Structure 1
Amino acid sequence: MAQPPGRALIVGAGLAALRGAESLRAAGFSGPLTIVGDEPHPPYDRPPLSKHVLTGAVAADATTLPGRHGLAADWQLGTAAVSLDRQARTVRLADGRALPYDRLLIATGTRARPWPNPHEGRLSGVFTLRGRDDAAALRRALAAGPRHVLVIGAGFIGCEVASLCRQLGLPVTLVEPGATPLSRVLGSTVGGLIGAIHAGHGVAVRCGSEVEWLEAEGGRLVRAHLVDGGSIATDIAVIALGAVRNTDWLEGSGLSADCGGVDCDARGYVLDTDGQPDPHIAAAGDVARFPHPLYGGRRVALEHWSHAVAQGIHAGRLLAGAGPEVPYGALPTFWSTQGDLVVKSAGLTEGADAVAITQGDPAAGRFVALYGREGRCIAAVSVDSARWLPAHAELVAARAPFPPRGAATDRPKAVTILEPGLP
């Protein structure tokens, strides 16, 4: 089994980094392995942070992932990487040290997009939710019984937090500039159906609205002012405006990277600014932007748990020199628990020109939506209907004709083709 010489360095200490390290070792790499993380915590599971941790069912420090102790790795936690010198093959840390590498895995992930006004973003009562410490702080605030919670942004995290507030019996308003919740990801047709479910559970859904500024008294949030002149009295605001990929430290390295991710070739090697792969560097997880074979080689960067696992494993084998260097192209899958509502997806909705409800009934709050592009299935989303999703995922993986042919149990007799309403 082939094995690269020298030192392996992984920058990032999340799920993709851990699975990459495990894969590197499993593929036969026995050299020195160093793992760098900007947070002081060992790798932990992020999905519970916006769910069980906020309810208090799971403590934030109980989300640590197993497996790190068997890696024979040197863990450098609590110190961020600040620059990469590819000629010297070193990564410089914030404390001034330079770590050498012969094989480098970039798995720096993302951070929460902050509120655009830094002063307002630091007010007492204003939160983002990305890391373990964020979740612990927000949990304490929610447990204190706020009079009202405002969630700014109705993506998956925003919807999860809003529904969780209703579980806790807290009044909550969800503000979103788009036409519906989740419209940027699922389109306004399916997003509208999910939004109606949230509204039925008591979430005050205000779409087509935008918060302009946050007002404080004595350094504490008291009110959010809207662009249209209205305002919302609130003592907690959760900023859920998406994520920013952690690529700043790669500036000046000669790699092709920007706020949308670091570019990789089909195998997983990182590209330089001339479009040439660096055979010593791979990337995995949220930060990696790569050509997906299922979508015509379109470059995508995915923030999915299953993707971090699969691409981390692939990158570890790649850097270990184990097996053929095949393109990475796992089918993207994702899930979101929003109160008692479970949303799961397979494939990517971007570019869809049609959507159809192919199982269940939206009026009952349980259905599957299948997305098509140019007569082919490209994605499927299930709402409280996970048992139907695997069959739809097979259609997506096979790029089967859209709309689907043939009969199926619980499929509407007449499948109506709708506009997806994607931006």
Structure 2
Amino acid sequence: MNTPSDVLVVGAGAAGLAVVESLRRKGYRERITLLGEETGAPYDRPPLSKQVLAGTWEAERTQLRTREVLDALDAEFVLGERASSLDAATRTVRTADGAELGAEAVVLATGLHARRLPELSGVAGVHVLRTLGDAVRLRGELLEARRVVVVGDGVLGSEIAATARLMGADVTLTGPQAAPMRAQLGHDIAALLAALHTAHGVRLRPDTLVATLETAGGRVTGVRTAEGETIPADLVVAAVGSTPATDWLAGSGLALEDGVVCDSRCRAADGVYATGDVARFHHEALGRSLRLENRTNATEQAMAVAANILGADRPYSPVPYFWTDQLGVKIQVYGLPTPTATTHVVEGDTEQGRFVARYLDGEGRPVAVLGWNMPKQARLHRPYLLDRYTPRPVAAPR
């Protein structure tokens, strides 16, 4: 494979920037263009629902690199321009302003859009949280709000509820699950997280769907559940999931199915790659496609894409990893817990609030490891997962 004469990265978040940095670290000195919809410098998203929302970080602290470091990359940053279409055959991107950008290699790193439900939109006091601007606006209203309802009990909704509660608000967390983050943590650990929230005063409303908003004078006053109950609120945050930012890729010639469909090399078409939250790649060890929405994957997959652009031809087969900080507890998860997996505490004690648990499948094989306020110990258990997540080498023909 020939080294491309130029590279265009679409998406100026953590994944897109990591592609540029990795290419430069690997000695690539040709032209690189980074196209991003937001006007500011690339920033980190995990602090938005925690440090920025709580006010312990100023917005500027989320910037991933200083201006001097970005300038040293010798890349062209085209910011404040939204990509509107892609011709995968010619590797040409058109922007909403009518400009055309092309390159021999194109990397799609456009991330996610916050899902907006019509029944939870268009009213003052109702927020989503995806961008830095979203976080700043939400913090401004949280400082004045007394009663907050968070709709959605996944990772983001749980983090927002935890932060709002620490800020002193009366918080209700609603969602369709039996406990917060049950889909990510399984029944047993999610029950512990529910107990943590309850102990800190968060009002949990499990198995609860919100049907519509209650309003007065154009501003939210509460949410009405599917059962007809009204939960009062001065402020509502809708954390009902995200959708891959692939709308602009309709008609591009790429396969789109809950993300940009890629092979094990994160390649969506000849000379076109995808990375980060938007990429659905084939995991060779698991034998199926995955799309991972987490910060660690954004960096690791970007590095794999950069290597493959330069001819490495290696599969991307990570041990998935994510973390969340809530109410003084750091939770770290390696691997993919499954709904049928059983959990076994292998270090520490749940009663003491510090433990490591392994998730085992029906045959007793480890599929994931979780650390609850034991980050170092959890990391030491990661090697037990390598057999499951490492592709088997293909035997050479005789």
- TM-score normalised by the chain length of structure 2: 0.93
Distance 1:209 1:126 in 2: 18
Distance 1:208 1:5, change over 3 A: closer
Question: Within the alignment, does 1:330 sit opposite 2:329 as a pair?
Answer: no
Q: Secondary structure at the match of 2:299?
A: helix
Shift of 1:335: 0.9
Q: For residues 255-294 of structure 1, give each alpha carbon's deviation from its aligned partner in whole angstroms, at most 9, with x where no partner exists.
A: 1113x11111112211xxxxxxx23111111111112234
Q: 2:394 — aligned with what?
A: none
Which residue number corresponds to residue 384 of structure 2? 395
- Aligned-pair distance for 1:352? 4.3
1:286 alignment counterpart: 277
Cα contact 1:368–1:381 (8 A) shared by 2 = yes
**Inter-partner Cα distance in structure 2 for 1:348 and 1:244:** 20
SS of equivalent to 1:20: helix
State the secondary structure of the residue aligned to 1:368: strand
1:262 to 260, 271, 278: 260
Give the structure 1 partner of residue 61 of structure 2: 62
Query: Structure 2 vs 1, CA of residues 378 and 300 (structure 1 numbering), >3 Å: closer, same or farther?
Result: same
Q: Which amino acid aligns with 1:85?
A: D
Counterpart amino acid of 2:85? Answer: S
Q: Look up the equivalent residue of 1:64 and give its one-letter code.
A: Q
1:358 aligned partner: 346
- What are the superposed Cα offsets for residues 188-212 of structure 1, whole Å, 9 maximum, x if unpaired? 2211111111101111011011111
Root mean square deviation of aligned Cα: 1.7
| Counterpart in the other structure of 1:100 | 102
Residue 359 to residue 180, structure 1, CA distance change in 2 (3 Å): same
What is the match of residue 124 of structure 2?
A: 124
Unaligned runs of at least 5 residues, structure 1: 271-277, 401-423
Q: d(CA) in 2 for partners of 1:269 and 1:89?
A: 13
* TM-superposed deviation, 1:339: 2.1
Work out whether residues 245 and 261 of structure 1, in 8 Å CA contact, stay in contact via their aligned partners in 2: yes
Q: How does 1:143-292 map to 2 (within 5 A)?
A: 143-144=143-144, 146-258=145-257, 260-270=258-268, 278-292=269-283
1:136-190 residue CA offsets vs partner (Å, 9 max, x unmatched) = 001111122x110111111111111111122111110000111111112112221
Q: Give the letter aligned to residue 329 of structure 2.
A: L
How many Å apart are 1:101 and its aligned residue? 1.3
> Is 1:47 aligned to 2:66, yes or no?
no
User: How much has 1:309 moved relative to structure 2?
Assistant: 0.6
Following superposition, the deviation at residue 310 of structure 1 comes to 0.8
> Does the aligned pair in 1 maintain the 2:183–2:339 contact within 8 Å?
no
Whether the 8 Å CA contact 1:197–1:365 is kept in 2: the answer is no
Amino acid corresponding to residue 123 of structure 2 in structure 1: L
Q: Any idea what the Cα deviations from partners look like across 1:216-241, whole Å, max 9, x if unmatched?
A: 11111111101111111101111111
Distance, in Å, in 2 between the alignment partners of 1:289 and 1:156 is 20
Alignment partner, residue 409 of structure 1: none
Deviation at 1:349, TM superposition (A): 1.2
- The 8 Å contact of residues 28 and 320 in structure 1, kept in 2 or not, is answered as no
Deviation per residue, 1:307-327 (Å, 9 max, x gap): 111111111122133xx3111
Q: In the aligned structure 1, how far is the partner of 2:163 from the partner of 2:351? A: 22
1:316 maps to 306
Matching residue of 1:420: none
**DSSP 3-state at the match of 2:271:** strand
Q: Give the residue type in structure 2 aligned to 1:231.
A: T
Q: Which moved more, 1:371-380 or 1:299-308?
A: 371-380
Runs of 4+ displaced beyond 4 Å: none
Give, in angstroms, the shift of residue 376 of structure 1: 1.3
CA distance in 2, matches of 1:371, 1:87: 44
C-alpha separation in 1, matches of 2:102 and 2:275: 20
Q: Please give the residue correspondences for 1:356-395 in structure 2 after superposition, counting only pairs within 5 Å.
A: 356-373=344-361, 374-395=363-384
1:109 is the counterpart of 2:117: no
Shift of 1:351: 5.6
Deviations along 1:52-108, one digit per CA (max 9) or x if unpaired, are 101111112331111422221111111211111123321011111111111101111
Distance 2:187 2:230 in 1: 25
**Which of 223-232 and 60-69 deviates more?**
60-69
Q: 1:110 Cα deviation (Å)?
A: 0.8
Residue 4 of structure 1: CA displacement?
Answer: 2.2
Per the normalisation by structure 1, the TM-score is 0.87
* Pairwise CA distance, 1:354: 2.3
Matched residue SS, 2:180: coil
Kept in 1, the 8 Å contact 2:267–2:274? The answer is yes
What code does the residue aligned with 1:89 have?
R
Q: Are 2:341 and 1:339 equivalent residues in the alignment?
A: no
Q: Provide the residue aligned with 1:404 in structure 2.
A: none
Give the drift of 1:3.
Answer: 6.0
Give the corresponding residue for 2:16.
17
